[in-house]
Amino acid sequence: MWKSYAKERGLPWSPVTTFEVATREADVKRVEKYYRWGLENGMGEDELELLTAEEVRKLEPHVKSHGAIWSKTDTSVDYPSFTRALQADAEREGVRFIFGFEVKAIGVAKDLLEIQSKNGGQAIRTRFLVNCAGGNSMRIAHMLALGREYADLNFRGEYWEVGQQWAYLASRNIYTVAQHPELPFLDPHWICRADGRRWGMEIVHLQVGNGKEGARVHSGTQTRLLGQTWHRRSPSTSNRPKRELHQRSHRDQRPIVVPHYQL
């Protein structure tokens, strides 16, 4: 569906595909597990492939590994362009978007939900509310007295734009098997953007549900990837890191939501 939509709207669509590589011999079994998970979750055998170290090097000569799983459907897109196109289509169908409305509280008025804004003004009343508030979804759920036994685990990925002289190092997304399986997004990875740029992950800061910083996790530990040892920085065209919230890969099956007692 998204591929057809991108073609109809002239939106960037770059099927770069993804390798998740085993940088240690012990990681090979984890790669095999991810392969089984993919098939169990409905991916076809033509969409996933297990690769040996030699097969990885044939496809990506600068990547050293003990093997990998190859996800052949992973695609790089321009999310802002998709979002603007979807907004325009929705508005043509009569949908109204309200911006700058920060939710203060949600109450019940007879058979309606009443959503109040921190900025004052008229409340919104509705029979149905779909909670898709991203990083604020847990806060919205708590206002509805839902999931109060849970807290969210926030993280921020810092990305460095790789200089053009290094862009040749890999033509696909490259992830490494996580050293900490419960936090699979922390380890170094190489991202191929829809516009041809390459980004590398630098460091992740973790915060617990009360908003206070709970830990700092450095992802740039020395890892043999792309034919060299990665230290704290990837080659960059700027001294300032590019930051974005990193969406996790297809291999991660559940949202990172943990009970308070685990924090």
Q: Has residue 250 got a pLDDT over 60?
A: no
The burial class, CB within 10 Å (0-12 / 13-18 / 19+), for 262 is exposed
Give the pLDDT band (50/70/90) at residue 54: very high
Three-state DSSP state, 40: helix
Give the pLDDT band (50/70/90) at residue 210: very low
Query: Domain extents for the chain?
Result: 7-79+153-262
Mean pLDDT over the full length of the chain: 79
CATH of 7-79+153-262 given 3.40.50.920, 3.30.9.10, 1.10.357.10, 3.40.50.620: 3.30.9.10
- DSSP assignment letter at 5: H
CA pair distance 168, 198, nearest whole angstrom: 9
Mean pLDDT is lowest, of 41-50, 62-71, 72-81, 205-214, for 205-214
- DSSP assignment letter at 79: H
CA pair distance 135, 194, nearest whole angstrom: 24
Q: Has residue 69 got a pLDDT over 50?
A: yes
Category of 182 on φ-ψ map: left (φ > 0), alpha (ψ -120 to 50) or beta = alpha
**Chain-centroid distance, C-alpha 62:** 24
Nearest to 178 by CA among 170, 167, 189, 169: 189
Q: How would you classify the pairing of strands 48-51 and 103-109?
A: unpaired
The greatest distance separating any two alpha carbons of the chain, rounded to the nearest whole angstrom, comes to 66
**Chain-centroid distance, C-alpha 177:** 15
Q: Has residue 35 got a pLDDT over 80?
A: yes
pLDDT digits 0-9 by tens, 140-174: 999 999 999 998 877 777 778 889 899 999 999 99
Three-state DSSP state, 2: helix
Residue 137 phi/psi, 5-degree rounding, is -60, -40
Q: 129 vs 216, which has greater pLDDT?
A: 129
CA pair distance 242, 244, nearest whole angstrom: 7
Is residue 122 within a helix (H) or strand (E), and if so which, with residue range? none
